[in-house]
Amino acid sequence: SHGNKEVFSCWGIQLAVDWFRERGHTYIKVFVPLWRKEPPRQDSPIADQHILEELEKQSILVYTPSRKVKGKRVVCYDDRYIVKVAYEKDGVIVSNDHYRDLQNENPEWKWFIEQRLLMYSFVSNR
């Protein structure tokens, strides 16, 4: 990841969005849990959080539901939503997640994930 697994890097998200824009893609969606809007904490650092606000204003960023129950953060299972949107739009999924559970759940999704999952790494902000 762009933040070297030490910090959630919003700049890394912006770099990815820019990469696809520069190649002529116009329908770009980024999915991030709603709790990433919260102020950074020591146990979940985030860099350049203002980028999320800008991407949301551009209708690129979609916040997935999350909440606190008895002080613990609870997030929805957003993988299914991510795969469904990409499948319906005949797009690609940019993630280092293999979505194995969803591959086993739906044969069409299995093929789609195998063919359309784009894994990534960053080298010198590229």
pLDDT tens digits, 89-112: 999 999 999 999 999 998 999 999
Q: How many CB atoms lie within 10 A of CB 65?
A: 12
Q: Which of 29-38, 64-73, 74-83 has the lowest mean pLDDT?
A: 64-73
In 1-126, which ranges are E strands? Answer: 8-9, 30-33, 46-47, 61-64, 66-69, 72-75, 93-94, 117-118
Neighbours of 105 (CB within 10 A): 12
Please tell me the pTM assigned to this model.
0.83
Q: 64 near 75, Cβ under 8 Å? A: yes
Domain extents in the chain: 1-76, 78-126
Question: Which numeric CATH code is attached to 1-76?
Answer: 3.40.50.11980
How many angstroms separate the Cα of 63 from the Cα of each of 111, 115, 126?
Answer: 27, 26, 25
The residues, ordered by sequence, that sit 6+ positions from 78 with a Cβ below 8 Å of its Cβ are 31, 33, 64
- pLDDT tens digits, one per residue of 48-70: 999 999 999 999 999 998 777 87
Cβ(40)–Cβ(49) below 8 Å: yes
User: Residue 117 above 70 pLDDT?
Assistant: yes
Backbone angles phi, psi at 120, to 5 degrees: -145, 165
